[in-house]
Structure 1
């Protein structure tokens, strides 16, 4: 078993940031290996041991390699004994010397290897109930016998054997013992199950003694609890003797212990078997690697089953400073690293890259294909509705490896920048694209639970273990109008991409915008564009209510590629209007169009007062003409007077034509701030 025992710090990098050790962690924990003949470990008698009485919990991790006669796990002569019995199948037994004939039995074990065993006595109502637990679950029948209370004693506690008079060293354990825990309380079912694989601090309430057995050498082993009931090896605590068990690297599933890879030189692209042992209460673990000695980390896989092994390929990142890590997905402070720095070595032309156009995908609506002058082949895909539309791209991988997936995307606004991504029908990830209205290559990442859209991702980059052959990559619409141009898979994890089309044209005006724009019908409007490496002429087209230009209306063919064209807007209203600029005679790439539709609207109605026009001095009770004109307006008008500079108005004529005049008798309301409207 292993446990984190060093100070954590946080380091900023461009990779996935995890709490990291100042020095590489990864030395496995240890256990005691008993020879099955005469080995023993001893905890001297102490008055505190008598606190194991009416209520108690006794726990151990055990791995029996060969059977002997009733081999002892934990024993206190004349007080209690926990052991394994083969009668009727290998099962655990426990008794108190108050009445050794009352024996509590677990169910028979069905598998070999490491097991967690616990015996617990707890008061339930008026009775005390004693129960076995094997691998976190109740096992066998419980007993309410009063004979399972533990008596006070004056003998030591022994591990792996007994010092009982008449059978001294005659009940040897052959195999390994680890993580011995003695509690003076009855632990709950949930506590036993959930904490059997979690390293303790030693300060837990009710803990009498904790033997982690991690020393790895020497004649003594420590009690990590506050009671310090330390133990010694063999029958002579001062020197090595034949009764000493051996220290042994442990594979008990306590904490987290990365068992491979732990050292050496790994060839990039070669098969890599990552193995570990971990707290059995964990359903999943994360596996990561570092190329800079533990400063920063990348995920090999996130949330893989806690079954002890994961097969992948050596990452494509040449370095002499590599480490691997197994980590608890629910607690970033629980992890274990390789025991030593590794080297990842590239041999030959190991780099492999596959590029595919997004529009080559098999598409289901509302996923669509459209045009953009800065996209490769001028085309890209997008979904027109949130949470709908699928594009499935088939790729052929040339070699086994651990691959990163890149996408060239363009996003704008607060709701146009994410896809769901999955490979070969696996987990679906949330990829937040860059929130910029530019075509950008980006390693596909996963927002996860801790990421923030547009700020950070929990897994960055996503890596995929792929074998040579055909694979399917699925992009499912998450937010509408998120554009995807092409994808790239590479096993070269050092690679970066900035490539763009060698020739392009970009429509500048009319501009794109979240809500489009407006143009007035029957007016002149300046269309502008930029380009690179295209011909000296362009074609400009117009489309009404049709983004895909099914029936384009020609504005100009073969006009000079000078970046601008003055267009006389048709004298009609159009709700969704589009302009397209293309190279030469048009009809092909390079070409570009406005993405967000603009609207052609009627001119704003205007009414202009002609007389009076300001500055006139009209006498009261005299007649004068009031006249007006209008534009884009044909309804009747009313005429009003203000004698207080527009604060208050009085109607002086109604239902007049939109263009007209009438003779007005000036009222007896002297003022030098009069207005007509």
Structure 2
């Protein structure tokens, strides 16, 4: 088997004492063993205190051709390193970069690849050697086809402050020139980009967001840092709280939290603070929707045929309410109405059958939230004549009273097939009239009433056999009942 030599790099030129003229072309040379195949070449003009990369990924061929640039220095070193910087070597001693033999300018920024947003503060920099007059700074937005003058500066200042202007371009170059004697241009194009901006899209005023719901905060942006901070105010801008910080994707989800407020604004800002934008108008954060049944809520007695009011309170609910009734303590439910207005009350005429295990349930159709009676209430027999439901019977009928025999009260039901003058009279066994229970015109329907065993004067009738007769227009029917004390 073979034992490989350890990786190594040895710089052979410049290796100390050389004098290289600005503007001249020289070869940087090295030897290497068992390296990765690519090297980084760097230059120091201050004996190794700082380094500038000349090439960050050059094939490890052992040589690199370099045109010497300003500034001049007598403390220069070259360093060649493997790309992972695990193996490297530099000049054994300093060498000298000599000033040019004629006036020279070297642009150092922008020198290719930069992104300068419109409106941002930037610095155009250069080195100048033996340039005695002011320099003119020019800009091209079309890769050198045409030029515009930005201004002038002293050559030895090496600095021109500039705030990029529109239009944006991907092909910008800067040129620094001293008439015909010396000039230099950016080595490669740089970018002038649109001014950084953020525009908040939602919420932007008028929205109603409920606590506990997930909402999307959205915005558009140009040339931000890539991270956006989202803040919320509940007092129209007096105080702010950070609710999210995310990548600048244009949207973020937020689980709405309390407290509720009608004076909310959202602000989307670059994490650096600028640019930013705020909701154009205030929006509302609402309490979570809730509904509470107030009546019937347990213990009430509602008589068949009586008009009753079902009452509830609703917070941030929808416009429609469904109301249901259970007569078996919640095992089964019957819908009373599916689209009642969410006004807080709904009137219902209690209907048969009777039950001691009744509950009412109200449901917000939109929010799908509900509440029911805290305890059961009772639907009982009517205290007078009561219509049982809204159905129209086919025939006139008189049903057998219940219970029978009875003491002290019994219930009588009958049906009227069409509007008629109705009489229901109780007779004793001798045919004498004891009490008139009904004597009025009634609409078609099913009816129920209770007889408490009292005569027409309110006195208790004695035990015995009685007859009750229903007359409705041409219809007549009589049935027998027994009062047993």
Q: TM-score, normalised by structure 2?
A: 0.35
- Larger Rg computed on CA atoms: 2
Q: TM-score, normalised by structure 1?
A: 0.26
Q: Which has the higher contact order (CA 8 A, sep 6+)?
A: 1
Which structure shows the bigger proportion of residues in strand conformation?
2
